[in-house]
Amino acid sequence: MPRDQRPGNQPEDLGQVYDRLGPELYKYARVVLADDQEAGDVIHDVFASLAQNTEALPQAIDGYLFRSVRNACWALLKRRHRDQDNPSVESLLQTVEGFEDVVNERLALQAAILSLPVAQREVVYLRALEGRTFREIAALVGESINLVTSRYRHAIENMQRFLSKS
């Protein structure tokens, strides 16, 4: 996920920018869209657009790319019909190295995440899976810290309810 880690002012080519930011942006798009194909398309389109505008790149490219991907994801969600809003992701969650893969738990947590409204899914990803602070999340999504914190709390409660039923 973008954290403005660009070393010095060294210009990066597109491959370097992708290597540094692409995978995290793709993961974000996967969680928000709940669709592997669409997530790949969004990342592809954002980077293709970036390649065509290399002369006008903003200095803070990390934040710029995150906002571009986020805007593209939310625009796509708005265009979606309700009946198409079925998750289409394979193995959304993977076990972090060093931990035992408990398949039942992994699938249950994955289902719980995908059951959340998109805005809550977004904040759960950024906070619980990416380890962002609420301040960072608020800056990224352009909302207040209180709103983001409250949304996260609701998301955790919703996941608890989902898991207790299943």
Query: Which residues contact other proteins (rule: CB under 8 A)?
Result: 14-15, 18-19, 22-23, 26-27, 30-31, 36, 39-40, 43-44, 47-48, 50-52, 90-96, 99, 105-106, 109, 124-125, 128-129, 131, 153, 156-157, 159-160, 163-164
For other proteins, give the closer residue by CB, 44 or 83. 44
Is 138 in contact with 126 (CB distance < 8 Å)?
no
Q: How far apart are CA 91 and CA 25, in angstroms?
A: 17
Closest separation in Å from C-beta 142 to other proteins: 22
Closest separation in Å from C-beta 67 to other proteins: 18
For other proteins, give the closer residue by CB, 83 or 100. 100
Closest separation in Å from C-beta 81 to other proteins: 25
For other proteins, give the closer residue by CB, 40 or 63. 40
For other proteins, give the closer residue by CB, 82 or 133. 133
Is 108 in contact with 163 (CB distance < 8 Å)?
yes
Dihedral angle sign, alpha carbons of residues 150, 152, 155, 161 = negative
For other proteins, give the closer residue by CB, 28 or 83. 28
Is 65 in contact with 75 (CB distance < 8 Å)?
no
Q: Tell me which residue of 130, 110, 120, 26 sits closest to 73, measured CA to CA.
A: 26
Closest separation in Å from C-beta 83 to other proteins: 26
**35 forms bridges with which residues in the sheet?**
88
Q: Which amino acid is at 53?
A: N
Helical packing angle, 61-79 and 134-141, nearest 10°: 70
Closest separation in Å from C-beta 141 to other proteins: 17
